[in-house]
Structure 1
Amino acid sequence: MPPARVFALSSAPFIVASGVRGGLGIRGPVGDGKAWPARGDHPRMPPLEGAPMSNLLIPMTTEDFTPEWVTAALRSNGTLGDGSVTAVEATPVGEGAGFLGSLARLTLTYEGTGADAPATVVAKFPALVEVNRGLAVQYQVYQREARFFNEIKSTITAMPTPEAYYADVEEATGNGVILLEDLDGKLRVGDQLAGASAREAEQLMTQIADLHATWWGRAEEDTISWVPAFDGPVWAMTAQTLPSLWPTYQEERSHLLPPGMADIIERTWEGLIWLGQQLSRGPMTLVHGDYRMDNMFFPPSEGDPITIIDWQLMSRGRGPYDVAYFMSQSIDVELRREHERALVKRYHDGLLAGGVRDYSFDDCFEDYRLACLWCVMYPVAMGGGMAHNERAVQIAAEVSKRSFNTILDLDSVSVLPS
């Protein structure tokens, strides 16, 4: 099997990329230059609830997905039974330089297996560049998604997610691997450039409200108490990192800044820690963290549930964060202006239907305004050095327009303390 290319995976708290659409790419490794622990026979993380019981090493390249490794992984939870994988063909999903990880489609050949074994799976595994891999571990990217599938996925009823055939994290290194259901050809992937329609946005508000209602006020329960909160150390690193990208954005994308926006962004940098604290006021819930069109797969029939992928930025915080992230970046400006209040109301109605109490619509909308300001970090990160292919540049420009106009329309900067 020829060596695989490296390809985009997904986001960090300041990077937005898409595996299915090729990602945003970067200009090179970033970080403090420290070497990350080399691959080896590290101690295993204690088995998580529902986790496969295995001593498998974490694959670091596509060549590590040998027939023997995939056989053991699929047998660990009964997916394969007594059959064996005899051949694995790995092909990249998406294009561009990998940043926080790698994504490959594995086409499997079996011997003696039943008809239920998957013909293909999608493998998510660590970035090949050590510095990038270290950054992903620092932000607990691999841990968050693996533990989501092993511990949290079963609690979510109204938001379909891909089936995970295997998910594991190595305690000593923080590296992780997931074998996921391949959705290619089954569902239509969303397009962040095109944006959501009003009908799609309505359904997505209903689905995210159901997730938030399920975990509303339960953020300290053992099942999710380990998930990073917006006022915790993982997200605090964001406030230290993002301002360094702002000068490049100003130099290369100043034409995207409406009058007064530069001052708003600089005030936001100064207030990021405070904003994180506000987003972590109780009652907190579980938030997806990367709720955008490129992470959504749409069914053939309108109205059927929309499948949501990429849980690497899953966090604990105020529910309207996900609403703000989606509305300020995945909906056309004019469409948002026309439907904004109704969509936030639909979300709030979904919370009430899910049993949430003592949370008024006015409070919900105020949290939404505040979260829209926090989310300005994403277009600045994209335009400030995280985008170098054509689609990435287009997304950076479109998300900048959407985010900046949302903040200006809502006067979100007024939420900051004077």
Structure 2
Amino acid sequence: MKIEDIQPEWLTELLRAGGTLPSGAVAAVQVNRSSRPFSTVARLQVQYTADAPSTAPTALFLKSSNRPSEWVFHAEVKPTLRDAPALRCLGSQVDEEVTWLLFDDMSGTHLSLPEDVPPTRAIYEQMVDCLAGLHVQRWEDTRMRERFATRQGDPSYGFLFKQTLGAFGAFVDALEDRLSGERRAIYERVLEVWPRMCLERIQRGRGVTMLHGDCHPWNFLLPRPGQAGKLFLADWADWRFDSGTHDLAFLVSLPCFPEQRARMEQELVRRYWQRLNHGGVRYSWEECWLDYRKSVIGNLLWPVFWWSLGSPSSIWWPNLERAVLAFQELSCAELL
């Protein structure tokens, strides 16, 4: 079934199974579809029969994907977390290797940042607090990590690394002299060393927690100006257990050019570390900063990955520049 073909009867059953529609039924549904690289989404406008509860949601957000990891998160992982920064899931279904997830449409009360414009310091502080609040709950939780070892998203950047490694030669050819010999050498060294670094960190278990896995600033939903409420994170398909600073470096380092990073990067990392400590985590500042620098190395994989998917140059080209500059400015080569 395609997302644009959903019928009121099917949506009724999904809402009933999720406990959202104890009586009545969906009378009509309007579907506004859009596509993403690994999923299809739609905003739904819903009308109900007269015997439906007055509280039944009329604005919904439906997501279909062939990746089961997000369904696992909402069905099995989220219930184990305290006040998780995830949208309320109103219903879900797995059908012929396609997962369906139904959420509240939060566009009336929340918004995402303008695309490609990094957050202000104040917004960044909220996002860092949100991440730390998530990470502290599963910090070095070996039992939970083992429980979900085969059901999480991409463990230790596995798919990301394989895709990047396979595409790198073609990427170099395509860029010609736009990728200098120095930068090519950086990439070659990272591709040689990075998998072993990741596996060693996970096996050691130090600083490992449950990540969102795709927490760029534009996956955060912020309360609209003048409205109270908490931040939410969308798109949990890449959740996994790994170094907590992977989330932090993806959020803080990759979206920012050097001038903005110089003004607030270390302060934001320190804020994250302080929130962890306040939550009872024993983790020194020196460990946190070292782990963050190691995670900045991993950001180099993303521009090649996005290029390999056919993403527009407006996505991968500026991220390439920012990733390499951060790698150089934080002296990450000495960690390889």
Identify the residue that residue 191 of structure 1 maps to in structure 2. 114
Identify the residue that residue 290 of structure 1 maps to in structure 2. 214
1:84 pairs with 2:84: no
Q: 1:330 to 1:203 in 2, by over 3 A?
A: same
2:41 corresponds to which of 103, 117, 123: 103
Identify the residue that residue 362 of structure 1 maps to in structure 2. 286
Contact kept in structure 2, 1:348 and 1:364, CA below 8 Å: yes
The offset of 1:369, in angstroms, is 0.9
Identify the residue that residue 343 of structure 1 maps to in structure 2. 268
The offset of 1:333, in angstroms, is 2.6
What letter corresponds to residue 115 of structure 1 in structure 2?
A: S
Deviations 1:67-106 (CA, angstroms, capped at 9, x unpaired)? 111101101122111110122221113x6xx532211112
Alignment of 1:142-291 (within 5 A): 142-157=67-82, 160-170=85-95, 173-221=96-144, 224-228=148-152, 235-253=157-175, 257=179, 260-280=182-202, 281-283=204-206, 284-291=208-215
Q: Distance in 2 between matches of 1:189 and 1:256?
A: 33
Deviations 1:358-400 (CA, angstroms, capped at 9, x unpaired)? x21111111111111112111112234521xxxx322222222
The offset of 1:225, in angstroms, is 4.3
Q: Distance in 2 between matches of 1:201 and 1:104?
A: 28
1:375 pairs with 2:299: yes
Q: How many residues align?
A: 331
Q: CA-atom RMSD, angstroms? A: 2.4
Deviations 1:334-356 (CA, angstroms, capped at 9, x unpaired)? 11122111111101001111110
Contact kept in structure 1, 2:253 and 2:326, CA below 8 Å: yes
Contact kept in structure 1, 2:74 and 2:89, CA below 8 Å: yes
Identify the residue that residue 327 of structure 2 maps to in structure 1. 407
Contact kept in structure 2, 1:288 and 1:322, CA below 8 Å: yes
* Structure 2 residue runs without a partner (length 5+): none
State the SS of the aligned residue for 1:105.
strand
The offset of 1:248, in angstroms, is 3.4
Q: 1:159 to 1:337 in 2, by over 3 A?
A: farther
Structure with more relative contact order (C-alpha pairs < 8 Å, separation 6 or more) = 1
Identify the residue that residue 24 of structure 1 maps to in structure 2. none
Q: Distance in 2 between matches of 1:301 and 1:291?
A: 22
The percent identity for this pair of structures is 25
The offset of 1:285, in angstroms, is 0.9
Q: 1:187 to 1:407 in 2, by over 3 A?
A: same
Instruction: Tell me which protein shows more helix as a share of its residues.
Output: 2
State the SS of the aligned residue for 2:108.
coil
State the SS of the aligned residue for 1:146.
helix
State the SS of the aligned residue for 1:184.
helix
Deviations 1:280-325 (CA, angstroms, capped at 9, x unpaired)? 1313210010010221111134895321101000010111110111
1:313 pairs with 2:235: no
Q: 1:191 to 1:403 in 2, by over 3 A?
A: farther
Q: Distance in 2 between matches of 1:104 and 1:308?
A: 18
Deviations 1:184-215 (CA, angstroms, capped at 9, x unpaired)? 23212123511111111112111111111100
Q: 1:407 to 1:348 in 2, by over 3 A?
A: same
State the SS of the aligned residue for 2:68.
helix
Q: Distance in 2 between matches of 1:393 and 1:306?
A: 30
* Structure 1 residue runs without a partner (length 5+): 1-59, 127-132, 134-141
Identify the residue that residue 60 of structure 2 maps to in structure 1. 121
